[in-house]
Structure 1
Amino acid sequence: MRWLSPVLLILIWQVAGATGVLPERILPAPQLIAESALELIASGELADALAVSSVRVVQGFVLGAVAGLVLGVVVGTSRIADALVDPPLQMLRALPHLGLIPLFILWFGIGETPKVLLIALGVVFPIYLNTASGLRQVDPRLQDMATVFGFSRRQRLTEVILPSIAPQVLVGVRQSLAIAWLTLIVAEQLNATNGIGYLIMNARDYFRIDVIIVGLVVYALLGILTDAVVRVAEARALRHYR
């Protein structure tokens, strides 16, 4: 029954658009938006834009995830690093990363670099925080038990540490993916010449609200899809470690 309310909302939207209650210049009817989406698919514009945007997200996510994991492991396993590294990172985390756009443009120009780095900056903190927190919360009794049984470093990692921190790290991954797509929406408006964001900006110049909505729907679907993939990976990983 969860699908009933969205379907009902779309039907009301369609009727309101078809009868003129909801003007097309404000919000086109779902049928018009679907037709625009099919046109973009048929012309190949949507596929090209989707490929470019996906590459940006993957690059930014990988860069931010690696940095977050490394920082999380260092801070989570060392009290000295916790005292020296964590405070400045927390200060940086308090800054809204999208507010750094002017600085990124001055530092890195208006090409691909600021877009990817902006995504990476948004990604790094959820993974860092969850990794460090997970390592701090590993049960000391499990560590002692591993020592008593003579676990090797590899066994200690695979049998004690990874099962303990996996749930939190994967939560960080899911949070980071959501931030990555959100950041992409803004980043692709920085003088972009391709990508979903460019498609939206170009549509704005021609008052194509239908195309703008298609782009926003694509962003939303990509976010939902990647979250679902991580959920499946999370379920399999946790099942493996049980």
Structure 2
Amino acid sequence: MQKSVSLSPALPPKPKSRSFSFKGFLPFLIPVLVVVIWQLSSSLGWLSTNILPSPWAVLKDGVKLTQTGELPKNMSISLYRATLGLVIGGGLGFILGFLNGMSNTARLLFDSSIQMVRNVPHLALIPLIILWLGINESAKISLVAIGTMFPVYINTFNGIRNVDPDLIEMGKSYNLSKRELFQKIIFPAALPQVLVGVRYALGVMWTTLIVAETISANSGIGYMSTNAEDFVDMETVILCIVIYAILGKISDLVAKSFETLFLDWQTLGRSNN
């Protein structure tokens, strides 16, 4: 018996709900409310400008510093230090995590020592780094590199060590070489954990840079904040804090975009289920 074929046109897709745009605004709702309440409190005199300047005053100060070129210059210097420190520290953490995760001999040789060093607060190394490297760029970049190395290391190491053994056995049953086994099974399975380490390292990166630029620097956002504090320039101090918050948020969005880009196979797998 032949099956009858329906010639009725396919139903058009349902229009997307408008709640999507509202959900997209939700992450910005609390910051916007805080700024509005802050501005109203300053305008009505409930909040003294000696304690906390208004958002409008901070914005005008940012425009002025941008026009003079001081803000773009110091922001570019801070971004350079943060990026280079993250690349060096994150790269070293990934290499060590890869070696110790893949090799039991390397793990027995290096992991215990790395864990001991990891438990030392890296900001406590500032006096030692200054004595070794001075107050030039290498000191600040080295401090950021030390701070960002351990989150990437520990997550890479755990990601590789916690790969499902059944997947590895399946790869071996297909006669995959060690290189193919790593490329096709171990690394994709460990990648979510690695990206968690990178995301955490981005937060440590900005925290470390703030301290480094506040203590020993003649440029950068942290230096601007310290210099403004000496002259009781509250607008610039608040501006620097806001800039760090915005840079941190942008960094987090970049990390999320990498997760979306490299882990789309997880999304497809969940949707198929």
TM-score bin (small chain): over 0.9
Q: Residue 47 of structure 2 corresponds to which residue in structure 1?
A: 22
Larger RCO, structures 1/2 (Cα 8 Å, 6+ apart)? 1
Q: 2:259 aligns with which of 230, 234, 240?
A: 234
Structure 1 window deviating more from structure 2 (164-173 vs 217-226): it is 217-226
CA deviation map 1:28-58 (0-9, x unaligned): 0111111111111222211111110000001
Alignment of 1:159-198 (within 5 A): 159-198=184-223
CA contact (8 A) 1:131 1:169 kept: yes
Q: Which of 90, 115, 118 is 1:93 aligned to?
A: 118
Q: CA–CA distance in 2 between the matches of 1:175 and 1:146?
A: 31
Provide the rounded CA distance (Å) in 2 between the counterparts of 1:233 and 1:126: 17
Residue aligning to 1:134: 159
Q: What pairs up with 1:69-218 in 2 under 5 angstroms?
A: 69-218=94-243
Determine the C-alpha separation between the residues in 2 that align with 1:54 and 1:125.
20
1:224 aligned partner, one-letter code: K
Query: By how many angstroms is 1:147 displaced?
Result: 1.6
Describe the superposition over 1:183-210 as per-residue Cα deviations: whole angstroms up to 9, x where unpaired. 0000112331111111111111111111
Aligned equivalents of 2:107 and 2:181: distance in 1? Answer: 22
Count of residues paired in the alignment: 242
Deviations 1:81-138 (A, max 9, x none): 2222111111111111111111111111111111111100110001100111011111
For structure 2, the residue ranges without an aligned partner over 5 or more in a row are: 1-24
The answer to whether the 8 A contact 2:160-2:187 is kept is no
Superposition deviation, residue 153 in structure 1: 3.8
Answer yes or no: is 1:42 the counterpart of 2:67: yes
CA drift of 1:218 comes to: 0.8
Return the offset for 1:235.
1.1
The structural deviation recorded for 1:162 is 1.6
Match of 1:68 among 88, 93, 104: 93
Task: Point out where structure 1 has 5 or more consecutive residues left out of the alignment.
Answer: none
Give the 4+ runs in structure 1 shifted more than 6 A: none
Kindly provide the CA deviation profile for residues 203-229 of structure 1, in whole angstroms up to 9, marking residues without a partner as x: 111111111111111111111101111
> Percentage identity across aligned positions?
41
Do 1:110 and 1:190's aligned partners in 2 also have CA atoms closer than 8 Å? no
Larger Rg: 2
